[in-house]
Amino acid sequence: MKENNNRRFCVAPMMGYTTPYARKLYRILSRNSFLFTEMIPAKSMINSKNKDLVIENNDNNPVALQVGGSNLNDLKICSEIAYSYNYDEINLNVGCPSKAVQNGKFGACLMKDKVLVRQCLESLQNNKIIVSLKCRIGLGNEMNYEFFEEFIEEVSKSGIKIIYVHARNAILSGISPSQNRTIPKLDYNFVQRIKTKFPDILFILNGGIKSLQEAKDLSNDYDGVMVGRLIQNNPFVLARVDSMFYNDGKNTSINEQIIFDYFKYIKTKVDNESIFRLLSPILNIFFGVPNSKIIKSRINEHMKNRNLNLIEDIFMHFVKKNNLLLN
Ligand SMILES: Cc1cc2nc3c(=O)[nH]c(=O)nc-3n(C[C@H](O)[C@H](O)[C@H](O)COP(=O)(O)O)c2cc1C
Q: What is the pLDDT of residues 127-185, one digit of tens each?
A: 999 999 999 999 999 999 999 999 999 999 999 999 999 999 999 999 999 999 999 99
**Average of pLDDT values for 237-247?**
96
For 61-76, how does the pLDDT look when each residue is reduced to its tens digit (9 = 90+)? 999 999 999 999 999 9
- Under DSSP, is residue 22 helix (H, G, I), strand (E, B) or coil? helix
Q: What percent of the chain has pLDDT over 90?
A: 88
- Under DSSP, is residue 263 helix (H, G, I), strand (E, B) or coil? helix
- Under DSSP, is residue 113 helix (H, G, I), strand (E, B) or coil? coil
Judged against a pLDDT cut of 80, whether residue 210 lies above it is answered with yes
Residue nearest to atom 22 of ligand 1 (CA): 207
Quick one: pLDDT at residue 123?
98
Quick one: pLDDT at residue 3?
64
Quick one: pLDDT at residue 4?
64
- Which helix (H) or strand (E) is 42 found in, with range? helix 42-47
Quick one: pLDDT at residue 54?
86
- Which helix (H) or strand (E) is 250 found in, with range? none
Q: Which 8-state DSSP code applies to residue 34?
A: B
Q: What percent of the chain has pLDDT over 70?
A: 98
CA-to-CA dists, residue 108 to 59, 103, 204, 247, 313, angstroms: 30, 11, 17, 35, 44
Q: How confident is the model at residue 5 (pLDDT cuts 50, 70, 90)?
A: low
How do the domains of the chain map onto residue ranges? 9-246, 256-326
**Sheet arrangement for strand 162-166:** 9-11, 224-227, 202-206, 162-166, 130-136, 89-94, 63-68, 35-41
Task: Ligand 1: list residues with CB < 6 Å.
Answer: 12-17, 38-39, 66, 93, 95-96, 134, 166, 181, 206-209, 227-230, 232
Report the alpha-carbon distance of residue 213 to residue 231 in Å, rounded.
14
Q: Which CATH number fits domain 9-246: 3.40.50.720, 3.40.1160.10, 3.20.20.70, 3.30.70.20?
A: 3.20.20.70
Quick one: pLDDT at residue 132?
98
Q: Give exposure, 240-260, as e/b (b: 16+ Cβ within 10 Å).
A: bbbebbeeeeeebebeeebbe
**How far away, in angstroms, is 139 Cα from ligand 1 center?**
17
Residue 96 among the catalytic residues? yes
Quick one: pLDDT at residue 49?
85
Answer whether 155's CB lies under 8 Å from 117's CB: yes
Q: Which residues contact residue 49 at a Cβ distance below 8 angstroms, ignoring those fewer than 6 apart?
A: none
Across 47-51, 53-57, 107-111, which has the greatest mean pLDDT?
107-111
**How far away, in angstroms, is 239 Cα from ligand 1 center?**
21
Determine if the pTM surpasses 0.75.
yes
**How far away, in angstroms, is 76 Cα from ligand 1 center?**
24
For 14-42, how does the pLDDT look when each residue is reduced to its tens digit (9 = 90+)? 999 999 999 999 999 999 999 999 999 99
- Under DSSP, is residue 33 helix (H, G, I), strand (E, B) or coil? coil
